[in-house]
Amino acid sequence: MDVKPAEVMSCLRDAGVENWCLMGLHGYVGYLPMPRATQDVDVMVPHNQKRKAVKAISERWPELTKEEFEPVVRFYDPAEVDLNGNRIPVIDLMLPWGKFQETILKEHVLTDKKTGSRYPTAEAAIVAKYAALISPARKFDKKQQDATDLGRLICSVHPNFNVLKIQSLAGQVWEGGSEEVLRFIDCALNEKPFPV
């Protein structure tokens, strides 16, 4: 199934889901000079909107199978698997698992007045990608893509981002995040590998 981000956003708006934000590649692709391909649509919703969002997506795409994990409700196309036989997610309904994500939903969302679409600010996109890159639970191949995406994000929006906002958000990822993220920004701007 080819579910488009605009369809997911429209589904959530029509269902009256509040304070959500398109995340992942679809959420920050507008900041990149050249987009790359991705399939799944990642949307973050507050915990108090989870039930309404799950119901809306389940009713809009009843053919998708659903699996609930603590930080995400994942919707799969039952007809599609990868080369290893694993199901491929079509929609990830993400729930904030950290303070920085709660802050993104409260303070770092841009709303398109014409369409009602909701995207992360550049600062939020950078910190979300930074958090994924330094996560000990993240798989190595995903971290490689995270590093590429983070470097491209930083370089493409520089100098049009607020470093203090990035530091404030990164400090909510972990206590040393405010200082570490500055090293990541410096590495990206000087074409050096990230310290991970």
| Cα 127 versus chain centre, distance | 10
pLDDT tens, position by position, 48-57: 999 999 999 9
Assign a CATH topology to domain 1-98+108-120: Beta Polymerase; domain 2 (3.30.460)
Half-sphere exposure (CA, 13 Å, Cβ side) for 14?
A: 11
Residues in the chain: 196
* Single pTM value for the model: 0.93
- Residue-averaged pLDDT of the chain: 94
Q: How many CB atoms lie within 10 A of CB 1?
A: 15
pLDDT tens, position by position, 133-154: 999 999 998 899 999 999 999 9
CATH 3.30.460 domain residues, the chain: 1-98+108-120
| pLDDT given for residue 35 in this prediction | 66
Furthest-apart CA atoms within the chain: distance in Å: 48
The SS3 of residue 45 is coil
Q: Are strands 41-44 and 87-94 parallel, antiparallel or unpaired?
A: parallel
Please say if the pLDDT value at position 83 is more than 90. Answer: no
Please say if the pLDDT value at position 30 is more than 90. Answer: no
